[in-house]
Amino acid sequence: MNKSLIISIKCLVLCFLLTLRIYPTLLAQTKEYPLSPLSLTDLSNFKNPSTNWQIVGDVYADRNKNASMSTSTGTGILVNMPSEKAKEDLFTAWEHGDIEMELEFMMPKGSNSGIYFQSRYELQLLDSWGKKTVKAGDCGGIYERWDESKPEGQKGYQGHPPRMNASKAPGLWQKLRIEFSAPKFDANGKKVANAQFVKVFLNGILIHENVELLGVTRGAVSEREVASAPLRIQGDHGAIAFRNIKYKRFDRQALKLENITYQCYKGIFNGMPSYDTLKLVKQGKADAITSELTCLENDFLIRFKAELTVPETGNYYFTIQQGGMAHLYIDEKVAIEANKFESWFNEQRTEIIPLSEGKHSIDIAYRKNTNWIPTALGLFIEGNGVRFQPLHALGSIPLIASEGAIYLNPEQKPHLLRSFMFFKGEKRTHVISVGEISKINYAYDLSQGTLMQVWRGDFLDVTGMWQDRGGSQVAAPIGNPVELFATPTLLILNDANASWISKYKENDGFRQKGYNLDDSGRPTFKYIYQGITVEDKIMPIEDSRALSRELLLNVSQTVNNLYAKIAEGKEIAQLPDGAYSIDDKQYYIQISEANKPKAFIRQSGDKKELLIPVVWDGNKAKIQYAIIW
């Protein structure tokens, strides 16, 4: 082989590996220990529930009426409907210490509730939709502590507002994910670590991180802090519904390897050889698995043997991480096979291993022959009440400073950015994103003339465009976008039941004509479809609580059987107030009074579509609706 070609190949490999230093998730192959669902077929998971709590099959909350919530029979949803006669809190039949939890909740307009971890530390739930400034008492806030002896106006203290208002509109399902660390106590009962909300996500947006709680919040069942107590849901303030409650409790102490020995060998190894044939360089006992015990910088194999005591029979998730190649044996059986090629040190591989209670042998072998790969070895475990934890020493995996993400936000006027963008797993190449100062944002596919997704909060992560050479040219919404659809908005159909195409083709008569900016810096997108001139204007309304979309159509000769797609989803339902709920109450569509009588829902394969037939007024037509979330 040509020498220059060999050098070029090596350079390409090195550049690829160095890229992984910037994007360390590219080779991650981890499996996560699953959360356990909380059954909501009845109330048996709760302690002595009062009559304000019930299990139902569906729920509807009118976003325009205070405290208005109705239900239908069935199972799967937990609802609180307080009254003067019954408004008690709800306690789980089980207790928790450290816990990870995710759930969905729905609130009617003006409602108020909360979740008390260990019945003592409240994460507030409130209808905070559209508020510009949020406090500790708003949705997602960590409620204040309280001291009655302090002067008025100072009784509440040490509350923590969410980083931003991530709340959705009343009547929509909202999602919480919480990682909570309980207070810790020594053998004498003295507190040695405070409770902590490690991470809290509301609707996909991180609103708290590593918030330490110096004591219980207002309304706690007791001022005394404990290691374990039931979860409690507030029942005396307002109506609320919950579903898809899942959790992981970590009630086991951290595990530790014992009787660790190691042997380090010299050589260039193409596979895992017989140890008897190898040249031993050093051996001994160790306090932990660590790559710092390797005998050489390169061309070595190190083997660790140890014992692990498992507290309970069950499935355990073992994760191995290495710079090079490694494998894991448990009880002399292959648990994680060696990777086929030497890898950069950030690669993780996870396998689920069933283990019985008691002692088990651990045998991990690690080798490295490639000099530019950092020396690194890690072994992690999770499962059956054991939190994800390392079984290796802290310095065994090197820490390389990240260059950090690059975020883009508008400053004095709306910001427009052309980019590639992933949507439902597909890379879209003609996307323009628009970010408002009021933190309401959207992405538009110029090649299809369609509004693709909308989101609140910060605008775009442009790391893939602006870091180094910007190889991917991909921008990503910051937070959790509401995905709409990426098929064309306008289409001529043979009849109202004809299938909607996924993309315009060259001969479909679609031509993008760019956009104009108004005085505020907002675009009006322009295109031509089958001789129809279209102006597409999207802008915030209702104090930036919704987006309005207006399509103005002009044509020299009217076109029959022209339809506009407004929404698609697995479920679409028209609500009593005339609006439509999309994808099981993920967002609303409010169609203008002029267009509303013509709108209809149809089944299309495994999804539903909301369409409006275009009605011409001479040579003009208008489609107008709002997206509310």
Alpha-carbon torsion 355, 327, 336, 12, what sign?
positive
Residue owning tokens 């405290």 = 67
- C-alpha distances (whole Å) from 594 to each of 62, 612, 615, 623 are 23, 11, 10, 8
The answer to whether 119 and 229 are in contact (CB under 8 A) is yes
Supply the range of the domain harboring residue 357.
Answer: 3-30+254-396
| Sheet-wide strand order for 607-613 | 490-492, 562-569, 607-613, 600-604
- How many of the other CB atoms lie within 10 Å of CB of 525? 22
Indicate the range of 95-109, 245-259, 465-479, 481-495 predicted with least confidence: 465-479
- C-alpha distances (whole Å) from 370 to each of 15, 98, 263, 323 are 14, 41, 20, 9
The answer to whether 267 and 299 are in contact (CB under 8 A) is yes
Is the residue at 460 inside a domain?
A: yes
List, in sequence order, every beta strand (DSSP E) within 182-269.
Answer: 184-185, 191-193, 195-202, 205-213, 229-233, 240-250, 257-266
The pLDDT-based confidence of 7 (bands split at 50, 70, 90) is very low
Note whether 198 and 289 are same-domain residues: no
Indicate the range of 163-177, 277-291, 397-411, 538-552 predicted with least confidence: 397-411
Name which of 333, 342, 266, 347 is nearest 303 in CA terms: 266
The pLDDT-based confidence of 340 (bands split at 50, 70, 90) is confident
Give dist(CA 54, CA 75) in Å, integer: 9
* Domain final residue pick, 213, 228, 250: 250
Note whether 266 and 219 are same-domain residues: no
Q: How far apart are the first and last CA of the chain?
A: 61
Looking at per-residue pLDDT, the higher value among 297 and 269 belongs to 297
Q: What is the pLDDT of residues 160-184, one digit of tens each?
A: 999 999 999 999 999 999 999 999 9
pLDDT at residue 3, rounded to an integer? 47
- The helix (run of H) or strand (run of E) holding residue 13 is helix 3-22
Note whether 616 and 604 are same-domain residues: yes
Name which of 417, 425, 406, 517 is nearest 466 in CA terms: 406
Is the residue at 401 inside a domain?
A: no
pTM: 0.87
Note whether 415 and 390 are same-domain residues: no
Helices (H) and strands (E) in the chain, counts: 2, 47
Please name every residue paired with 156 in a beta bridge, in sequence order, or none if there are none: 146
Is the residue at 266 inside a domain?
A: yes
- The domain total for the chain is 3
φ/ψ of 496, rounded to 5, equals: -70, -10
The answer to whether 430 and 446 are in contact (CB under 8 A) is yes
pLDDT at residue 400, rounded to an integer? 65
Note whether 260 and 235 are same-domain residues: no
Residue owning tokens 């001022």 = 223
Q: Is 131 exposed, middle or buried (0-12, 13-18, 19+ CB in 10 A)?
A: middle
pLDDT at residue 18, rounded to an integer? 40
* Coil, helix or strand at residue 417: strand
The answer to whether 27 and 343 are in contact (CB under 8 A) is yes
Note whether 439 and 363 are same-domain residues: no
Is the residue at 402 inside a domain?
A: no
- The helix (run of H) or strand (run of E) holding residue 446 is none
pLDDT at residue 405, rounded to an integer? 86
Q: Is 578 exposed, middle or buried (0-12, 13-18, 19+ CB in 10 A)?
A: exposed
Is the residue at 534 inside a domain?
A: yes
Compute the mean pLDDT over every residue in the chain, rounded to the nearest whole number: 92
CATH of the domain at 42: 2.60.120.560
Mean pLDDT score, 212-218: 97
* Domain final residue pick, 332, 361, 396: 396
Note whether 454 and 520 are same-domain residues: yes
Looking at per-residue pLDDT, the higher value among 289 and 33 belongs to 289
Is the residue at 121 inside a domain?
A: yes
Note whether 311 and 342 are same-domain residues: yes
How far does Cα 406 stand from its chain's mean position? 19
Using the CB atoms, write b or e for 377-404: b if 16+ within 10 Å: bbbbbbbbbbbbebbbbeebbeeeeeee
The pLDDT-based confidence of 26 (bands split at 50, 70, 90) is very low
Note whether 392 and 447 are same-domain residues: no
Is the residue at 430 inside a domain?
A: yes
pLDDT at residue 19, rounded to an integer? 39
**Count of alpha carbons within 13 angstroms of residue 595, beta-carbon side:** 26
- C-alpha distances (whole Å) from 32 to each of 35, 177, 306, 383 are 9, 15, 25, 9
**Count of alpha carbons within 13 angstroms of residue 127, beta-carbon side:** 24
Please determine, for residue 28, whether its predicted confidence score (pLDDT) is greater than 60. no
Give dist(CA 318, CA 333) in Å, integer: 14
Residue owning tokens 């001969």 = 507
Name which of 367, 363, 323 is nearest 344 in CA terms: 323
* Coil, helix or strand at residue 342: coil
pLDDT at residue 16, rounded to an integer? 42
pLDDT at residue 25, rounded to an integer? 33
CATH of the domain at 454: 2.70.98
Note whether 374 and 424 are same-domain residues: no
Q: Are strands 145-146 and 156-157 parallel, antiparallel or unpaired?
A: antiparallel
Q: What percentage of the chain carries pLDDT values higher than 70? A: 94
Is the residue at 80 inside a domain?
A: yes
pLDDT at residue 272, rounded to an integer? 66
Residue owning tokens 């992933």 = 422
Please determine, for residue 20, whether its predicted confidence score (pLDDT) is greater than 90. no
pLDDT at residue 402, rounded to an integer? 56
* Coil, helix or strand at residue 258: strand
Q: Which residues contact 409 (CB under 8 A, 6 or more apart)?
A: 415, 435, 458, 459
* Domain final residue pick, 362, 396, 430: 396
Note whether 163 and 134 are same-domain residues: yes
- Per-residue 3-state assignment (H helix, E strand, C coil) for 354-383: EECCEEEEEEEEEEECCCCCCCCEEEEEEE
Q: What is the pLDDT of residues 461-512, one digit of tens each?
A: 999 999 887 778 999 999 889 999 999 999 999 999 999 999 999 999 999 9
CATH of the domain at 266: 2.60.120.380
pLDDT at residue 398, rounded to an integer? 87
Note whether 260 and 387 are same-domain residues: yes
Using the CB atoms, write b or e for 293-307: b if 16+ within 10 Å: bbbbeebbbbbbbbe
* Coil, helix or strand at residue 550: strand
Report DSSP letters for 517-539, one per residue.
E-TTS-EEEEEEETTEEEEEEEE
pLDDT at residue 277, rounded to an integer? 83
